[in-house]
Amino acid sequence: MAYWSELPPELLTLIAKCLETQFDVLRFRSICRSWRSSFPPKLYPLPKRLPSSKKTKAGCRFSLNQITIATLFLVRLPPATENRSNQTEPSCWLIKISDGKPLNPLTDSGLNANLPKVLDLINCQVIELGHGYVGRYSVHINYRFRGLYRNYIEKVEILRLSPDGDDFMVVGLFSHGVEYFALLKSGENEWTVLENMHGIQDIITSNNKFYAIEQSGGTIIVDQFFSVGFIQHAVGSPTNRKFLVESSGNLLIVEMIFLENSESNAGFRIFKLDEENQKWDEIKSLGDQILILGLHQVVSVSAYEFHWGDQGNLIFYSIDGNVEDRVMYVFDLEKGISIPLENCPVYCNLFWPLPVWLNSSESVVSSSMEATPGTEFANLGICEDVGSSFSSS
């Protein structure tokens, strides 16, 4: 019989270092006291008190006032429980947690459901699918007689340069009529601002580099030494929306094509980076991968995580209206068609409503954290482990 609590500390440390997400570390540390004491919480505090930029040529001064982390979670029934559950009920549910608030992953609208206070991790599984950063920016425009201020929300990317997370680089998007690609390294007091960018539509970190895709389809690459490179091979049309995402170890551009006078309101093309030859190759299939296009975050996840086998090749997205009125769709890459989620209950139930099994006090929700190993739903964390990382912004 194996006594997990008696595993040697050096072996526990090796195991813990292989864990990639904060939530995996949380579950590792929840096994027993010896496991908890063998490895510290995997916390990367978000950068604070960042300096304002110098005036740009257009007379603007930018500030990145706050960075918030947004994490996408999959909550699902274990396979054994799923087989015994009502087959008409979805066995998986997606939720986004940002600044301690539960949001719809596609629209960022708040979830007004009566969410359980505690999840019982024995009877359900919680998997972190990915996370992104959103910044609250302000710009001061220097006019002749008075200054004007404007606040806006835009994506941020952070590259950790050391295992403890103390050394990092931040990339922000400064925007006021003209796009500025701004970089800041920890310990420095001035932003490095790259001007003459042309409508940056998305940014991402991949292979210890920053990538940005322009409206024209050009790609900008910046490494940790501030060396700037370009992929001149333009992708897609300047009139289409473009996203960057890592999927199965590859960096992809997702081009969203808005269609008029068509049953499908949008189409998609996918391009994979050929880093050796510095070009993008179009691909026709995502294989078992599913893309979730949020407002400031794109996540790729395998269909196997939903217990769908290899039935991936789908893109979930939303368009039109404000946050509360956006309509959700699913695009099937194989068939080339887009369908409103409300017409596809199997897919729609991934996002809304709250599954009965998740909202039932008799099934998977524990009323007390002392009764069974559980986690607070609002933070999806226990005490200082994950919850504090959400509130650190």
CA distance 153 to 176: 12
pLDDT-wise least confident of 178-182, 236-240, 245-249: 178-182
Looking at residue 53, its pLDDT comes to 84
Phi first, then psi: give them for residue 56, nearest 5 degrees. -85, 175
Pick the most confident of 60-69, 140-149, 247-256: 247-256
Both structure tokens of 8: 């040697």
- Percentage helix, strand, coil, to 5, in the chain? 15, 45, 45
Min mean pLDDT across 183-187, 197-201, 243-247 is at 197-201
**How far is it between the farthest Cα atoms of the chain?**
79
Q: Which two tokens stand for residue 182?
A: 């701004």
Whether residue 173 is predicted with pLDDT greater than 80 in this model: the reply is yes
- Strand order across the 101-103 sheet: 101-103, 92-98, 60-76, 125-142, 147-160, 168-176, 178-185, 192-197
Say if residues 90 and 346 touch (Cβ distance below 8 Å): yes
Mean pLDDT of 254-276: 86
Residue 324 has pLDDT above 90, yes or no: no
Please give the share of the chain, as a percent, with pLDDT higher than 70.
80
Gap between the Cα atoms of 115 and 122, Å rounded = 18
Q: What is the mean pLDDT of residues 121-142?
A: 86
Contact predicate 263/337, CB 8 Å: yes
> Dihedral sign, CA of 153, 155, 161, 165?
positive
Strand partners, 136: 66, 153
pLDDT in the model for residue 96: 92
Which of the residue ranges 81-90, 175-184, 317-326 has the most confident prediction, judged by mean pLDDT? Answer: 175-184
Q: Per residue in 326-347, pLDDT tens?
A: 889 999 999 999 999 888 877 8
Residue predicted with more confidence, 145 or 115: 115
b/e code 9-32 from CB counts within 10 Å (16+ = b) = eeebeeebeebebbbebbbbbeee
* pLDDT for position 377: 53
Q: Does residue 85 contact residue 91 with C-beta atoms inside 8 Å?
A: yes
Element of type H or E holding 94: strand 92-98
Chain centroid to Cα 210, Å, comes to: 16
Q: What is the Cα–Cα distance from 156 to 337, expressed in whole angstroms?
A: 32
Give 281 or 29, the one with higher predicted confidence. 281
Does the pLDDT of residue 60 top 90, yes or no?
Answer: no
Between 180 and 373, where is the model more confident? 180
At 314 the pLDDT is 95
Q: What is the pLDDT of residue 14?
A: 83
Strand pairing class (250-258; 241-247): antiparallel
Q: What is the pTM of this model?
A: 0.83
SS3 80: helix
Among 75-84, 102-111, 268-277, name the one with the lowest average pLDDT: 75-84
Q: What is the pLDDT of residue 382?
A: 32
119 band by pLDDT with thresholds 50, 70 and 90: confident
Alpha helices, DSSP H, located in the chain: 9-17, 22-29, 33-38, 79-84, 345-348, 387-391
Given pLDDT bands bounded at 50, 70 and 90, which one contains residue 241? very high
CA–CA separation, 65 and 87 (whole Å): 47
Res 287: pLDDT: 94
Tell whether the model's pLDDT for residue 268 goes beyond 80. yes
C-alpha separations of 367 from 180, 362, 370, 393 in Å: 50, 10, 9, 29
76, 124 contact by CB (below 8 A): yes
Percentage of the chain beyond pLDDT 90 is 32
Q: Name the amino acid, one letter, at 63.
A: S
Which of 71-75, 195-199, 259-263, 363-367 is modeled with the greatest confidence?
A: 71-75
